[in-house]
Amino acid sequence: MKKLIVLLLLVLLILMQTITGFSFETLTGQAQETATNQVDDFLKRIDWHGEYDVIVVGYGGAGATASIAAADEGAKVLLIEKAPKGEEGGNTRFAMQAVISIDKENIDKGVEYFKNLRGKFNTPSDEMIKTYLNYASQNYEWLKYLGAENISVFPFREYDLPGGEVMEALLIDGEIWTSAFYRTLQKAVEERKDNIEVWYESPGVGLIQDPETKIIHGVLVENNGSLLNIRAKNGVVLCTGGFENNMQMIQDYLQLPYAYSKAARYNTGDGIKMAMEVGANLWHMSNIAGPDLNVLNPETNTAFAYAIQGRKAADLCTGFACQNVIFVGADGTRFTDESVLPNHGHVNFHGSWVQMPVSLPAFAIFDETARLSQPVYPTWSEGNVEEIEKGLIIKADTIKELAEKIGINPDNLQKQIREYNKYCSDKKDPIFGRARDTLKPIKKAPFYAMELVPSFTNTQGGPERNENGEVLDVKGNPIPHLYSAGELGSMFSGIYQGSGNLGECAVFGRISGKNAAKVKSDVSQESVMEGRTPAKPVWKEPEVIIPKSGEFIGEDRGIGGPIKVLVTMKDNKITGIKVVYHNETKGVGTNAINKIITSIIENQTTDVDAVSGATVTSRALMNAVKKALDKKE
């Protein structure tokens, strides 16, 4: 019966084509015309305030890369950034600056390694891994293309897993923690200013989507209290980073009551929310590069520095926690090996790498010997005196008094310290296997405590994307004209390979930027701005300083962007140095600024010692002063 019906339908269609000229091609053409008319109708219903070929949301490493890639395809790009000018950069600006790489001949071994990193998780797919590593093999030449000249290549395998021996990383000028990679990207963006327009203090707050076709036509941008509908003819690329600064999302997705970023301050999950609103599927939301334990900087609400747990340098444990220090949890007992810095927050748990469990609240407990041994962080004061005065370190004459001050059980803490001191005598930690050379007893009064918080480099979760950089919906289909790059929806599902996220900025920034720039046939390329005046965004620019007689302006770039100084001279001597503009980290870079200024004036030279832990800020300040002094010649 079914065969008969199909046969009759075929006969009917043939008759229609013979009599009326109707064809399947006609039907397809009509459908396309109808769809195009629907799209045009939607575009006409929007009150547009601007129009570009591509809109990139977020000016970190991924956003810069995507903008460059789109511009190099000939697209007119709008790059919007939530942060004030000078504070852009997200996590990329503060990262180590190593970018993942691999020799093209070793990609098969690299795929093996990444499958081992994936472990028992289902994602990322083999195809995604191959795409990632194929592009990673081109990262060296790409950095050269952007203008980087001195690129060093070094082997970099974070985990002793098969295939990892072929992994490499790239450093520009051999520098780490100096923003060298991000500065290279910024310079490339600035060189393309004819094709890339940057708006600061202009967060994306929504995506403009046709409810019928699901096409993303643009971004709703907030600027100076106004909401602006900005059209993207061919694509939107979300590069907003993760949710490091959104405490509710941290609780909802990470099963931590609180945790804090080591770097980014404007990453509040905006891109994740925007993608969810247009039907995106989320993946890897519980995965973070963390946690480890740090002291919270109350001035920035981020962790003070990368870590106080042990780092191995020439087989010596150099972190503060390798001194006469233990970490205790809510019950006053130890819960981890203090001498080991977790691999981006992961520890080996009976053969599996898992996120380090923490007991909260957590405290570092130490004695007078440890206090005098070294600053907790390199930028802290000698003997940590200033930090005690600020209340970051709690002081007590006895362990019992210390426990009462921080609100944990005194009996438990006293018992724990007795047990730990015995391990030190025996030179063996039977519970956590702490390194023998770090087993130093807590004996000398007074005693001290610092509250520790879970800290992390970045989150990894967000909208799922495929190997083309397209954002996928809950059914696994691409959302038309929507792309992503960077840590927003990172491909890392579990174990994270160091240098991998900056590598992801470079890889998927290029892929998504290029694909977003392709002219799309499912939308009209005619302008929607006929008779309309494009919006003119506003943001705060640095104050213009006009030097008086005997004053000189100098500028250089620190970890947080430009540092501008006003140097006062009298009788050929430096009498004053005022930093008139900077975005260095409060409590870290600002400490270095004060010390360097004092040292330069006292010694009457810019050739002074940098402040450990803030070498980039120190060097930038010294260079800025030197440039100011050069102007008096």
Contacts of 286 (CB under 8 A, 6+ apart): 253, 254, 255, 461
Assign 11 a pLDDT band (cuts: 50, 70, 90): very low
**Least confident segment among 130-144, 220-234, 375-389, 576-590:** 576-590
**pTM of structure:** 0.91
pLDDT of residue 334: 98
pLDDT (mean) for 408-415: 98
Burial tier of 275 (Cβ tally within 10 Å: 0-12, 13-18, 19+): buried
Give residue-wise pLDDT tens across range 485-532. Answer: 999 999 999 999 999 999 999 999 999 999 999 999 999 999 999 999
Assign 2 a pLDDT band (cuts: 50, 70, 90): very low
Buried b (16+ CB within 10 A) or exposed e, 251-272: eebbebeebbbbbbbbbbbbbb
Please give the span between the terminal C-alpha atoms of the chain, in angstroms, as a whole number.
100
Q: CA 269 to CA 246: how far, in whole Å?
A: 7
Among residues 71, 585, 471, 475, the alpha carbon closest in space to that of 239 is found at: 471
Among residues 235, 198, 230, the alpha carbon closest in space to that of 216 is found at: 235
Phi-psi region of 8 (alpha: psi -120 to 50; beta: other; left: phi over 0): alpha
Q: CA 106 to CA 136: how far, in whole Å?
A: 11
CATH for 50-92+177-288+463-517 (1.10.10.10, 3.50.50.60, 2.60.120.260, 3.10.580.10): 3.50.50.60
Q: Which two tokens stand for residue 341?
A: 């810095």
Cα–chain center distance at 438: 32
Q: Which two tokens stand for residue 63?
A: 């956003």
- Cα–Cα distances (Å) from 99 to 4, 54, 67, 169, 515, in that order, read 64, 26, 18, 5, 22
**Pair 241, 267: CB distance under 8 Å:** yes
Among residues 78, 54, 142, 108, the alpha carbon closest in space to that of 507 is found at: 142
Neighbours of 420 (CB within 10 A): 23
pLDDT of residue 36: 54
E strand or H helix at 389: helix 385-390
**Pair 177, 97: CB distance under 8 Å:** yes
Give the domain 292-456 fold.
Flavocytochrome C3; Chain A, domain 1 (3.90.700)
**Residue 18: pLDDT over 60:** no
Q: CA 529 to CA 228: how far, in whole Å?
A: 13
Give residue-wise pLDDT tens across range 20-69. Answer: 444 444 444 554 455 555 567 899 999 999 999 999 999 999 999 999 99
Q: CA 134 to CA 117: how far, in whole Å?
A: 17
Q: CA 294 to CA 455: how far, in whole Å?
A: 6
Cα–chain center distance at 554: 30
pLDDT of residue 310: 78
Q: CA 583 to CA 266: how far, in whole Å?
A: 14
**Pair 309, 293: CB distance under 8 Å:** yes
Measured in degrees and rounded to the nearest 5, phi and psi for residue 370 equal -65, -40
**Residue 311: pLDDT over 90:** no
pLDDT of residue 558: 85
Crossing angle (nearest 10°) for helices 180-191 and 61-72: 30
3-state secondary structure of 143: helix
pLDDT of residue 177: 87
Crossing angle (nearest 10°) for helices 500-517 and 61-72: 30
Give residue-wise pLDDT tens across range 244-281. Answer: 999 999 999 999 999 999 999 999 999 999 999 999 99
* Mean pLDDT for all residues in the chain: 92
- Domain with residues 551-630, CATH architecture: Alpha-Beta Complex (3.90)
Q: Which long-range contacts (CB under 8 A, 24 or more apart) does 127-133 make?
A: 127/467, 128/466, 128/467, 128/491, 129/491, 130/467, 131/467, 131/507, 131/511, 132/491, 132/503, 132/504, 132/507, 132/508, 133/102, 133/107
Assign 633 a pLDDT band (cuts: 50, 70, 90): low
3-state secondary structure of 480: strand
Q: Where are the domains of the chain?
A: 50-92+177-288+463-517, 292-456, 551-630
**Residue 312: pLDDT over 80:** no
